[in-house]
Amino acid sequence: MNTSHRTRILMTIALALVSSPFVAYGQNRVKDVCTVKGQERNILRGVGVVVGLQGTGDQNPATTGAGLAEALSKSGYEIPRGASGQALTEIFKADKNATLVIVTAEVPPAGARQGSLIRCQVHAWNSTSSLAGGTLLETSLTGGPAIMSNRDNSRAAALPTLAIASGRIRLEGTDTVTGIIDNGCQLTVDFRNEFFEEVDEVVGDVDLYSSNPAPPGTRRKVRYLNLVVKQAHAEFSIADRIAQQINDELVRGEFSGVGEQAPVLAYAIDSVNIRVRFPSSYYDDPVMFARQILEETPVVLNAKNTKIVLNRRTGVITVGEDVYFSPVAITSGDFKVDIAPFRELSLEDNQGLGNAMKLKRLTQALNDLQAPPSTIIDIITHLEMGGHLYGQVIEQ
């Protein structure tokens, strides 16, 4: 083709530019791959009554009538009762403007204080066709284990009331039997999710864990941060690597200059659990220690093969299996990748970590599109120059 008639081609690879900061591939923070035992969410639940529906409530209101009678009784309204003392729910039998619902609320992993307001969800499960316009009457929410009876150690039917939910229901989307009450749930107890464990231990022959060594046999309280490796990374090798890197970071900081005498504070119990002992200097400042471990300690999950070897003269490109790049928009002056109607540049199943993508997968896709080696090399070098490439580039 005559170069004067050659169409100038523009290449744009759109890879969903992200604004969040990204840690270099393989190098994450501990918080990216672990959670803290004790910092779990709490699900509260209860059964309540919704009123104010426009004929869209329970079409067979026998059970709803019983629930409505109980709710009104708790509010001080006197329900007519029969000779046996049972509430006469017949007065509600023709009412299709109410329904029983399941109410749920989630207390965040960090916990919350008594009196805090959180969002709750309302779910109708019977013949109710819509909760539009409805209002949830005061509903007690419970959660956790059942209370044991003092008499026979059997599980009691009653559970502790942990929150009270009520309010006007808001529908979302096309689901008319599930609604939201924003700030409709008020906690009646504190949810203080402790993020460390405190135990009594006996000092051994050599006390390496304290700046003020105690005599052997002394009992003292120590604290542990218990980490849980996220399911996607739950392997023995990864758990062991995380523990080693936490120890390395503490040696560089807390125990710098100690050398081989530095104690091992972090160790993997299995493929999921890692136990980190608090240095004595952090005993009275557990939040600072947790921040240091979770937010400031880097973790390299895999650093086996992160080299890229480029040879512009021969056009040979060798990409390591563990080289990643962060999402970015790339433009070159002499090649075009068009998603349609040409072959699609697919980055599916790239097995990236977080937002990162495998460079090897990108180069394979460009080769499929017959991109010249010089273009691929230019893309790789610009990724490196822009700080988006997580690997070592070697040009020959």
Q: Strand pairing of 163-168 and 170-171?
A: unpaired
- Distance (Å, rounded) from C-alpha 243 to C-alpha 240? 5
Flag the least confident range among 98-107, 112-121, 316-325: 316-325
- Classify residue 271 by burial, with Cβ atoms within 10 Å: 0-12, 13-18, 19+: middle
- Across the range 329-340, mean pLDDT stands at 52
- Across the range 128-146, mean pLDDT stands at 84
Contact 337, 362 (CB under 8 A): no
Contacts of 246 (CB under 8 A, 6+ apart): 30, 265, 266, 274, 276, 293, 297
- Distance (Å, rounded) from C-alpha 193 to C-alpha 46? 22
Neighbours of 381 (CB within 10 A): 16
Phi and psi based region of residue 254 (left: phi greater than 0; alpha: psi -120 to 50; beta: remaining) = alpha
DSSP for residue 391: S
307 membership: H or E segment, kind and range = strand 307-311
Q: Which amino acid is at 15?
A: L
- Is the pLDDT confidence value at 37 over 80? yes
Q: CA angle at residue 43 from 42 to 45, to 5 degrees?
A: 145
- Of the pLDDT bands very low, low, confident and very high (cuts 50, 70, 90), residue 123 is very high
Q: How far is CA 136 from CA 274, 296, 372, 383, in A?
A: 44, 45, 65, 55
Position 136 scores a pLDDT of: 94
Strand partners, 145: none
Question: What is the pLDDT of the chain when averaged over all its residues?
Answer: 75
Could you tell me what percent of the chain has a pLDDT over 70?
A: 66
- Of the pLDDT bands very low, low, confident and very high (cuts 50, 70, 90), residue 214 is low
Flag the least confident range among 65-74, 245-254, 349-358: 349-358
Q: How far is CA 392 from CA 15, 27, 207, 310, 345, in A?
A: 22, 14, 43, 11, 25
Domain ranges of the chain: 3-25+303-395, 30-38+194-298, 42-187
State pLDDT tens for residues 261-319: 567 889 999 999 999 999 888 888 999 999 999 998 988 776 456 778 898 888 888 88
Residue scoring higher pLDDT (377 or 25): 377
- Is the pLDDT confidence value at 105 over 90? yes
- Is the pLDDT confidence value at 340 over 50? no
* 3-state class (DSSP) for residue 244: helix
- Distance (Å, rounded) from C-alpha 196 to C-alpha 192? 12
